[in-house]
Structure 1
Amino acid sequence: MSIAVTGFPNMFLMGCGPGITYANGSLLPCTEVQADYIVACLSKLQKQDIKTMEVNKDAQDEYNIQREALMKDLVFTEPCPSWYKGGKVDGEPDALYAGSTLHFLEMLASPRWEDWKFVSLHPNRFSYLGNGDSSIEATGGDRAYYITMQDARNALKASDYQAD
């Protein structure tokens, strides 16, 4: 999945992980989408009091099966020695993504949380909800921030719905 490896909780790879697109196009947008993905993961860890997150072994294995199936039709598997194949003539590249850069960007556009296993900091995974007050309420902030002037101008008026 180009971001993490089973067995290394809370370790994220960027620009160098397994299945990266450095041979398929520009690495810069790929690194940016990886950074956004990692920030989303770290935000989840922080906001939900999660101690560790680790990619599920089943998800990693299935991803690799899919990658290998797609890789068979690419030029990188042609019988010639290649750095991508560790100097071997035959075989599949170990580290390449099997799709286009655009496909890679779409794949990592948002995390698939179902592909991860989480360990909470607390016995109850919902303890992060606290006492039921939001941080806005706790600091005396605007409790109706979601109502805008546009909403107020478009509010329904009783006169708009008088019986005929």
Structure 2
Amino acid sequence: MRPRRRLPPVTPDPIGPGQESVWDYPRPPRVDAVCERVTIELGGEVIVDTTDVVRVLETSHPPVYYLPVAAFVAGALKPAEGSSLCEFKGMASYVDVVGGGRVRERAGWGYPDPAPGFEGLRGRVAVYAGAMDRCTVAGETVQPQPGGFYGGWITAAVVGPFKGVQGSMGW
């Protein structure tokens, strides 16, 4: 078991009715199945519309939504070069996301052979919301996690502060 990393003190934002705080999410992260409709639009086309959704919850991060590769329209995901390693989930591979004649390079990623405990991510892809025209969860347009590096989706149901804002590098 990995030792828990001590995070600097952060004052979580107040939680309102129906909200959850990213500061109550675990580390290591967990995979959480949800029953919400998720859509992604690119180039004026809906490239995915599904209720087969899991999200990864990790301390200080808004949820990252993973959708089945099979739920994307044909041709919307193209293998891309490169990979990266997550200390928890394993080796990630990247995809270009295509829709309506637009290509967003390396705008999605997945874990073809996820680490133990993250098997629920196999056959799924997460997408950077900021690279798409629009992403929705339960009809609400999401905001991308700040900073450009992380792929969390911010909705009214989740409060921060979120990793990626200025000064959060040590979180």
Bigger Rg, structure 1 or 2: 1
Question: Which structure: greater strand fraction?
Answer: 2
TM-score (norm 2): 0.22
TM-score (norm 1): 0.22
